[in-house]
Chains A and B, each alone.
Chain A
Amino acid sequence: MVRISNILILFLLSSSFYGTSQVHTDSLGTVEITYKQKMTASNQRMEKIQIQQLQPVDAGDLVQKFAGVTLKSYGGIGGMKTISVRGIGGSHTSIVQDGFLIQNTQTGQIDLSNIQTESIEEISLSVGGVNGTLLPVSAYLSGSSLQIQSFENRFSNKKVQIRSSLKGGSFGQLDSYLSLKYNGNKMYLSVFGKYRQAEGAYAFELQNGNHSYVGERYNSDLQEGFGGLGFGYRINSKSILKASYLINVADKGLPGAVILYNPTAIQRLKNELHQLNVDYSSFTSKIGIRNYISLRYEDLNYLDRGYLNNAGLLDQDFFNASIQHGISFQTYNIIDTSKIKNIDSRFFGGAEQTYSELHSSIANFAAPKRYELKAVLGYDLNWRKLHAVIQLGGQAVSDQNELAEVAPNRYVFTPYFILESTEKWLFLGKPSIWVKRTFRVPTFNELYYNQIGNTQLKPEIANQLNVGTKYEFNVKRSKFEVELAAYFNLVENKIVAIPTKNLFVWSMQNVGKAQVLGSDIQFVYSYDLTNWKLSAHLNYSFQQVQDLTDRKSPTYGDQLPYLPHHTGNVSASIQYKKMGISYSTLLTSERFALNENILSNRVDGFIVHDASLFYKWNFKEKQNLRLSFTVKNFTNQSYAFVRYYVMPGANFLIALNYEFN
């Protein structure tokens, strides 16, 4: 009994508690235990060492490196970034940081530029099944899940830990981060702060007919602060309490799209975000239960001093608040292993309730309130070389608002099933197959935003089918990993904005149907010698995302807007003793700005190259200092993720990181 508890605690100490899925070995005193958690297919991860080589501006820069992801970036530092995973809208991706959901019921999508990367020790993206245990219920029910593990919110056996960085670069970028953590016998306490600012303006050049149109993308200044507190306490050998608080305050200019012949941009966006998380986990030899509660409040202020109304300005505030409470559980091997060998099976699941509301300073605003109930129950089985999970989920949504019309209550059921091999099957590698049906409820904006909103919207459904395999082999000191996946997705009741009454009155409708045929190829190579370390990561995705909404429409069968057929990433690094060089590139083929796949809607594809040089000093094993110099877009390519939201040309970043353990 005591031994079991220790195992559980150890596994909590290990980083695999939330989100990850590797084999972890941790030690506490004299006991050394290995907890092996099965890796499910379609999972990608990145660790701190890779993150440092990329020198990302925000989490969006990291996520775009994962296979199957299409990023939409509106440019500059602090510009909005959203993702689509495997051709499915971004609202189908849940974002979980340190075991708590980050959500926004107003827009349904999290702006990845608001997630800072200094604290990230590990980031992973899982499509289909989620990796990790005792996660928030929402994560199990989403089409894909992005999981972030921060330095500030994990146990460690080091007494005092410091993480800090100082960065400066082009566009007046200045970035400083300091995080302190004290780890006691049974607890940790952390505090961090980060401040970044940028003047932001950058010159651009784009093609205007036969001429080149030269301008400056200005009004993209940024001032942003992040802060947080973390606390963890092992109450006894069977229970753990954790709490964390995060704040993010930003004031930024919105450079907007480049409008030919009219360079004016004076809109501004301010936001203030608070999130408070508390969870309590307890374990017996049979079951682990986690109770979690999370409060989130976000104030968004949009200001346009050039708006041509009587007041001469547009000043709008949106207040989005939510509270989420849930219970997740996981049983441990429910079959007596003395009777049946090689079998390990467990139940997992949970229930979660969320209340959220949105207020605004604008007139006649619906001020919606929402109550959501989610539940999931799954069975996880390991038998010989096979791993299988069957999961059933459900969600009920009920809305209220201050205007007459309210969206009807909605109920949805969503199953998931995976069967995979945990060991090699000759030339087939480690094959896997999974299916998942997920949904996303319409956001507050889609339902209630003045004339645009449509209260009759149904949840958008995404059906995913994935077949894949994985190979791993070692040749002398080289290690190869290849992962192949082919997928077929069908999105029904797709929520799209279409102008109905006139060009200025758009409305949200459930009219879309989209089909995704895609494949991801990932290749990882690493080579380790005493003084030399080589690594290469290559991935490529092909996605055919067709509009199957209306057979009579001229766009039937066309590729959906802003989804490229081809995306790819190459990153490579060479390290010799204390210094190294890394290179990374992002490739995106042409896309279309509107539904019609015609020349005039075409947005050029691009390849962006980044390179970084670094040097690392270690002092007495406890401290290390890392200096790096990064040049991004060193070929000075003029490119845009979104048409006329031109991205910066060649730019540099110098970073100094200091760590104490």
Chain B
Amino acid sequence: MNLIKYLFVFTLILLATACKKDKKLTGESTDELANGILVLNEGLFQLNNASLSWISNLNGSVDNDFFTKKTGRLLGDTGNDLKKYGGKIYIVVNVSSTIEVLNAKTGESIKHISMHNGTVGKQPRTIAFHQGQAYVSCFDGYVDVLDTTSLEISQRIKVGSNPDQMAVAGNQLFVSNTGGLNSPVMDSTVSIIDLNTKTELQKIVVGLNPGSIQVAENGFVYVIARGNYGNVPSRMRRISTVSLQVDKQYNIQASSITKYGGKLLLSTFNYGTNSQGVALFDPALDSVTNQNFIDIHQVQTLYNVQYDANQNLIYVLDAKGYTNTGYVYIYAATGALLNSYHVGLNPNSILIL
């Protein structure tokens, strides 16, 4: 009978190990959001693991559980955009269909906005601001208007299919209609919204699968038609805000555009060689002036590039193959790597605070 006894004890040990809980979801976090970098980690679909990381410039510490420590709950599924406007921080959570509004000083929650149309999630993607109003592109084909004071949705503006990235130029909002969910027949248009009347003025054809879109200091809007990741390559196009037409096509294969002072940084990716880089584009010369502006050889998966004009620093976000936790690399404008921080899963945007 000794054997039974041993097995019994063995089972008890097993039960004990299986039940062990060492989760620590709450704890102390920074009181004031200052002198640091807030990072939105997108997470992965259906894992509810979007998160915020807080990098303190004072001691270089990284807190990858910032949102939960501040709010006592999880951020949700697929964090898509992070922006600051006035005294508030806005986080657009795509699959959870929510917008989290935080106090930009304390990081505490001001409002949790549910973005649903009846029972169906609107799947918000990105957010842009203009004169006290926030504009939220929603994958169900609308741009929602959110009042930044009342934090209520006042109206919905119908655009093309699966709108994603947006850029404000004067009194106009340019919205990339990806049509990604109609693959392989994706959308090819950019919707132009008049921000005074809050209606769509027109749609212009820019090329298959429009994505990243930016307004340069020269007043032109630059957009990337990402193609189909197959036989139609990604290409950059220029839209004139006067004629509201594509007036220039470039033979540049890029995945995203970042404003860099009066110039643009283009994240490039060559599907043939799997090589990636960050190129410098000069709108005045209308060409790429430096193909490898910064050395990103240590970056495994270039996910986004952001520039902070105040500090004159470039931030490169590395998604590490999309399934491992990522990194934020900080570069001087000279291209020299200054620092790196290990953050959460799929970091896609940052705020310098």
Contact = CB atoms under 8 A, between A and B. Distances in A.
Given A264-B120, A538-B11, A590-B18, A598 B76 contact: no
Interface stretch (B32-40, B45-53, B167-175): B45-53
A595 B324 contact: yes
A263 B7 CA distance: 43
B334 interface: no
A587 B3 contact: no
Interface stretch (A11-19, A138-146, A436-444, A601-609): A601-609
A261 B93 CA distance: 10
A338 interface: no
Nearest to B76: A260
A589 B18 contact: yes
B46 A499 contact: no
A451 B229 contact: yes
A587 B119 contact: no
A599 B14 contact: no
Contacts of A263: 119
Nearest to B4: A525
Contacts of B15: 587, 607
A210 B72 contact: yes
Given A504-B180, A600-B344, A210 B14 contact: no
Given A260-B96, A364-B184, A308 B271 contact: no
A259 interface: yes
A261 B114 contact: yes
B325 A598 contact: yes
Interface in A498-512: 498-505
B23 A599 contact: yes
Nearest to B69: A209
Given A480-B3, A605-B18, A501 B229 contact: yes
Contacts of B216: none
B283 interface: no
A363 B182 CA distance: 11
Interface string B306-325: 00000000000001111111
B11 A568 contact: yes
Contacts of B77: 259-260, 262
Interface residues of A, number: 62
B68 interface: yes
Interface residues of B, number: 70
B46 A644 contact: yes
Nearest to B274: A500
Interface in A427-479: 450-451
A588 interface: yes
Contacts of A273: none
Contact of A264 (B44, B48, B119, B161): B119
A607 B74 contact: no
Contacts of B25: 207, 209-210
Given A260-B48, A261-B96, A568-B11, A607 B18 contact: yes
A554 interface: yes
B332 interface: no
Contacts of A504: 180
Give the dominant DSSP class at A's interface.
loop
Contacts of B51: 600
B5 interface: no
B230 interface: yes
Interface string A280-316: 0000000000000000000000000011111000000
B47 A644 contact: yes
A540 B97 contact: no
A342 interface: no
Contacts of B17: 566, 589, 605
A643 B43 CA distance: 14
Contacts of B137: none
Contact of B98 (A261, A451, A598, A599): A261
Given A566-B18, A644-B46, A262 B95 contact: yes
Given A209-B74, A264-B120, A364-B184, A259 B48 contact: yes
Contacts of A261: 76, 93, 96-98, 112, 114
A523 interface: yes
Contacts of A525: 4
B95 A588 contact: no
A590 B184 CA distance: 40
B73 A309 contact: no
A553 interface: yes
Nearest to A570: B11
B140 A308 contact: yes
Contacts of A625: none
Contact of B321 (A307, A499, A598): A499
Nearest to B75: A260
Contacts of A364: 184
A593 interface: yes
Contacts of A501: 229, 269, 271
A257 interface: yes
A600 B48 CA distance: 10
Contacts of A450: 184
Interface string A597-630: 0111110111100000000000000000000000
Contacts of A451: 229-230
Given A261-B97, A503-B346, A600-B64, A498 B73 contact: no
B148 interface: no
Interface in B301-353: 319-325, 344-346
A417 B137 CA distance: 62
A600 B345 contact: yes
Given A502-B255, A600-B345, 18 more contacts: A208-B73, A208-B74, A211-B73, A259-B46, A259-B96, A262-B77, A264-B120, A309-B181, A310-B179, A364-B184, A500-B274, A504-B180, A570-B11, A588-B18, A594-B44, A599-B23, A604-B21, A605-B17
Which 5 residue pairs of A and B lie closest in terms of their CB atoms, listed nearest first?
A209-B73, A605-B18, A309-B181, A210-B72, A257-B46
18 contacts: A207-B25, A209-B74, A210-B26, A210-B73, A260-B76, A261-B93, A308-B123, A308-B181, A363-B185, A503-B42, A504-B180, A554-B324, A568-B11, A587-B15, A590-B20, A598-B325, A600-B65, A605-B18
